[in-house]
Structure 1
Amino acid sequence: MITLSDENARLLPVTVLGLGPMGRALASAFLKARHPVTVWNRTPGKAGDLPDRGAVVTDSVQDAVRAGQVIIACLIDYEAVRATIEQSPEDWKSRQLVNLTSGEPAQARQMSRWASARGIGYLDGAILTPTPAIGTPSATVLYSGARGVYEAVQETMAALGGTAMHVGDDPGQASAYEVALLDIFATSVNGIVHAFALASAEGIEPERLATFATGIGGLLPEMITRFAQQIQAGQYPGDRSTIASAASGITHIINTATAHGIDAGMLTAAKSIIDRAVADGYGPEGLARLAAVLHKSG
């Protein structure tokens, strides 16, 4: 196993498997940090300017893996990672696999078991920032899996810039953070576009709504921090807003949207959780209580 005590740890040869936009950004960051870089992609012609900057392009997975000591996978899904690694050499003694492919916590755990059975040091990772942030101070990457593997690649992965954090030995933890944060993003985007559709149906111009909508968005950081504290403590004071009042408000939204023929599926799903909380006697409590209601229903 490679360790941080190796004299040339900062310049370990890196292989990047997968040259989508994120894969190219990763390879670029390693090149900028002066690592020897080999790249592979199932479909040729995706390397862009990487060869001109010193990357070695190969059409063989075996050659790509043999060239690196830190093997970065950034593919479409975990099935693609498994199918790709199955083409690699059997000897992984001096190599580590860092999987930066997006997926689900259960898939990460299964992949870790699969890799371990083949003698492959495995680390799962979640990239929490967009492609342009890679290699800059604003990048954030979470890692989970065996601490020893993380320590073996930590200095090399520092080439990606910004914040890097090992969030636990459970290989599924990094992915769990990612899907939870994507949950916020996905439902927020739905709320934004739904609000614009509703406003438009009522004759409100998008730019006029945006003036007030940005103020609503500004409430969220404080709310997230407050909810985290309340959930941690198991106490949900209704001094600012209550589940009962939320039930009334969301009903108005659903009725207005439905009257205009606008899909209200996500809203009705949210209302069902609110109604369940009210039925269970939580109406006077704060909205953070809904997290516990959801967890219980799961």
Structure 2
Amino acid sequence: MTGGKRTAVTVLGLGNMGAALAKAFLAAGHPTTVWNRSPEKAAPLVAEGAAHAGSIADAVTAGPLIIACLTTYDATLEALAPAAGELAGRTLITLNSGTPSGAREMAEWATGNGARFLDGAVKNVPEAVAKPDTLLYYSGDKAVFDEYEQTLRELGGDTRYLGDDVDLAALYEMAVGATLLPALLGFFEGAALVAKRGTPASELVPYTVKWLEMIGSVLPKFAAEIDAGDYSDPSSTVGLFYAGSAHDDELAAANIDVSWREPMNDLLRRAVAEGHGEHSISALVELLRKPEPGAARSFN
């Protein structure tokens, strides 16, 4: 973006997130072209001022910046394949789910077709797009990030660049995202439990939020222990968590399915068996990261 002129943007994929991205660009005054396999999804955005591309080639050639928000890298590759020859000299930014290897393959394909490439992730729900504290992070070509940073900030005020390695955003997406389903399952289990007393799940929300804030407050200490490989000064021990796993029997007796906990309980059992009952709970990371063949594993 130079002067007062807004960068023309193409958004590929109009699911909940893709539609939210397109709306954010429109609200910020960017000429916005949209494309989706199911064209009817474009209608609400066209009503708000977007241009609808009838083909993927038309979408790609509509402007210099293409934001792809499809489900996976494979889906993005499949969608863009017919327009591969039109990518040269344009910028492609992917905001989809996937693995680090998928990001590397996507980057190789894009640059091989003459495009500049940046990978990214939206770390929030569609309703949060464009809000000042919404986090998005990107990795890859720094020159691309620098050129389009202000445009990308229209999608969320907490916009960050992770580094030149193109797969960093996908790596962080997997690493940070690993906490989501276990945390949600814990809340859903609690909701099922209190429902047996006639208590609505909404009653749990303020207490669960407070609990999650506590978890956030102890992560720096756990991270420091992991980085140092020293688990000898615990705030909470493996043994304490293991003892708590015995409470699952009472939950099961109340007809709550706690089978999803068993892999975690098995991890605790193995850690105790290896002599780590008095170590910090963060020592579990050593069981999760399997040693390279022939390498010895040690705990402090």
TM-score (norm 2): 0.87
Secondary structure of 2:243's counterpart equals helix
Residue 39 of structure 2 is aligned to residue 44 of structure 1: yes
* Conserved? CA contact 2:57–2:86, under 8 Å: no
What is aligned with 1:276?
Answer: 270
Q: Over the residues paired in the alignment, what is the CA RMSD in angstroms?
A: 2.4
Deviations 1:179-221 (A, max 9, x none): 22322121001111122334455x4734666675454334211
Instruction: Identify if the C-alpha distance between structure 1 residues 225 and 206 changes in structure 2 by more than 3 Å, giving closer, same or farther.
Output: farther
1:25 to 2, 9, 20: 20
* Conserved? CA contact 2:89–2:114, under 8 Å: no
* Conserved? CA contact 2:7–2:31, under 8 Å: yes
How many residue pairs match? The answer is 291
Distance between the aligned counterparts of 1:224 and 1:84, measured in 2?
A: 40
How many percent of aligned residue pairs carry the same amino acid?
Answer: 35
Secondary structure of 1:45's counterpart equals helix
Distance between the aligned counterparts of 2:128 and 2:206, measured in 1?
A: 28
2:68 to 68, 73, 84: 73
What is aligned with 1:15?
Answer: 10
- Gaps of at least 5 residues in structure 1 are 1-5
Instruction: Identify if the C-alpha distance between structure 1 residues 210 and 99 changes in structure 2 by more than 3 Å, giving closer, same or farther.
Output: closer
Secondary structure of 1:49's counterpart equals helix
1:180 to 175, 182, 193: 175
What is aligned with 2:226?
Answer: 231
Secondary structure of 1:98's counterpart equals strand
- Gaps of at least 5 residues in structure 2 are 293-300
* Conserved? CA contact 2:122–2:136, under 8 Å: yes
Instruction: Identify if the C-alpha distance between structure 1 residues 272 and 175 changes in structure 2 by more than 3 Å, giving closer, same or farther.
Output: same
Task: Give 1:164 shift.
Answer: 1.0
What is aligned with 2:115?
Answer: 120
* Conserved? CA contact 1:127–1:140, under 8 Å: yes
Runs of 4+ in 1 over 4 A off after TM superposition: 206-215
Secondary structure of 2:44's counterpart equals coil
* Conserved? CA contact 1:9–1:155, under 8 Å: no
1:139 to 129, 134, 153: 134
What is aligned with 2:251?
Answer: 257
What is aligned with 1:3?
Answer: none
Secondary structure of 2:289's counterpart equals helix
* Conserved? CA contact 2:9–2:31, under 8 Å: yes
Instruction: Identify if the C-alpha distance between structure 1 residues 89 and 272 changes in structure 2 by more than 3 Å, giving closer, same or farther.
Output: closer
* Conserved? CA contact 1:10–1:155, under 8 Å: no
1:62 to 48, 57, 65: 57
Instruction: Identify if the C-alpha distance between structure 1 residues 48 and 223 changes in structure 2 by more than 3 Å, giving closer, same or farther.
Output: farther
Which stretch has the larger CA shift, 288-297 or 185-194?
288-297
Secondary structure of 1:67's counterpart equals coil
* Conserved? CA contact 1:9–1:156, under 8 Å: no
Task: Give 1:236 shift.
Answer: 1.8
What is aligned with 1:161?
Answer: 156
Deviations 1:51-95 (A, max 9, x none): 233211121110111111000101122221001111215143331
Instruction: Identify if the C-alpha distance between structure 1 residues 161 and 242 changes in structure 2 by more than 3 Å, giving closer, same or farther.
Output: closer
2:281 to 264, 287, 290: 287
Deviations 1:99-134 (A, max 9, x none): 011222222122112222222211111001211221
Secondary structure of 1:88's counterpart equals helix
